[in-house]
A = this chain, B = another copy of it.
Amino acid sequence: MEKDLPDIQAILPKVNFKLTRVGVTNVTKQIVVKRPDRNVILQPTINLYVDLPSTKKGADMSRNVEIIEEIVENSIKTPCSSIEDLGENIVKMMSKRHPYATRMEVEIFSDYFLDRKNPSGKVTQERYRIFSKVVMENKKIRKMIGVTSTGISVCPCAMETVRAHLKERYPEYSDFLDRIPVPSHNQRNNLTILIEIPEGNSVEINDLIEIAEKSYSNSTYEILKRKDEMELVLKAHENPKFVEDVVREALKLIYDRYRDFPDDTIITVKSESEESIHKHNAFAERICTLKEIKEEENNSGEHDKKNKYNRECCT
């Protein structure tokens, strides 16, 4: 019966332009993913696109959702090992079902939960946002993997102006005030790290989360008793950071971890700080190749790093 029905997608369009991306967006499913230590359930939202030649009125949209449904079903028996592998499976299936297309793309976004230890060693389940983009073009597959994670940033500028003020007001305690953390404004900082996975290499999402959590003034936790909270606040104030510093720290840690990746590996790091003293946000971003940060890293020895306000470890 299906094949007796008019196939409007297949006819010539009235207006003959190619389209770059045609597909379905906001498909949300529950999928099993096999992590190194355990199976995890993800609820990803998935967007799928193919390009469309100028001679075809419509893409065959339902095939995209069928692919996802098949993957959902199979994921219980034979789970993917990661969302980027899920993405790779999807574009490979798309290339078979859309023979007219030359470019297949999938975007996957998902919450991701990980057990972390808070300052006193208690386990708390923390929430992250992970995503992947996989593109297949001319048989070649390119994969990106990323995470957005939330920590705390303490402003180094307000800390030093407050310190200067207190020292002026209490000159007799000037030396002591140089040794202790003083008040500053602090807030949620959302850090996003996105990295290309070169062919033959792999990037473990938990490693990206670890890099993110070392880049803030401190990571945050769902459970903090009074002593934990005190320790977190002190550590964060001993490590004040602008959004700019958060991005640079993450770039440094990415460089340390992935320096052997090819020079043309694309890296994106961005940080958005929900300023507690403003209604707007502060933002910093770097988009670059591994080669660029490699060169900058090699030149950084020229900088004089001894600076009277570099109090990142001031107590």
Contacts and interface: CB of A to CB of B under 8 A. Distances in A.
Interface of A: 1-2, 4-9, 11-30, 41, 43, 47, 49, 52, 54-55, 57-59, 61-62, 65-66, 69, 72, 111, 113, 123-127, 150, 152, 155-158, 160-166, 170, 173, 176, 180-188, 220-227, 229-230, 232-234, 236-237, 242-245, 247-249, 251-252, 272, 274-288, 293, 296-297, 299-300, 303-305, 307, 309-310, 312
B6 A296 contact: no
Given A280-B25, A310-B11, A286 B244 contact: no
Given A6-B309, A19-B247, A233-B162, A223 B66 contact: yes
Contacts of A157: 6, 8-9, 58, 226, 229
B23 A283 contact: yes
21 contacts: A5-B161, A6-B157, A6-B309, A8-B156, A11-B307, A11-B310, A14-B245, A14-B310, A15-B245, A15-B251, A19-B244, A22-B243, A24-B282, A25-B272, A49-B283, A57-B242, A57-B245, A58-B245, A176-B176, A182-B182, A186-B276
Given A22-B284, A127-B28, A252 B17 contact: yes
A277 B244 contact: no
Contacts of A288: 20
A26 B275 CA distance: 11
A147 to B, nearest CB: 14
Contacts of A12: 303-305, 307
A14 B314 CA distance: 14
| 10 tightest Cβ-Cβ pairs between the two chains A and B | A16-B300, A161-B230, A15-B248, A41-B41, A6-B160, A8-B157, A183-B237, A21-B285, A27-B280, A22-B284
Given A17-B252, A183-B183, A278-B220, A29 B66 contact: no
Contact of A160 (B8, B186, B282, B285): B8
Nearest to A72: B125
A156 to B, nearest CB: 5
Contacts of A304: 12
A124 to B, nearest CB: 6
Contact of A158 (B173, B182, B233): B233
Given A12-B305, A16-B300, A24-B280, 13 more contacts: A9-B242, A15-B251, A17-B296, A22-B244, A23-B283, A27-B280, A65-B278, A126-B279, A161-B229, A162-B234, A170-B176, A183-B234, A222-B279
Contact of A62 (B21, B183, B225): B225
Contact of A186 (B30, B166, B185, B242): B185
Nearest to A231: B165
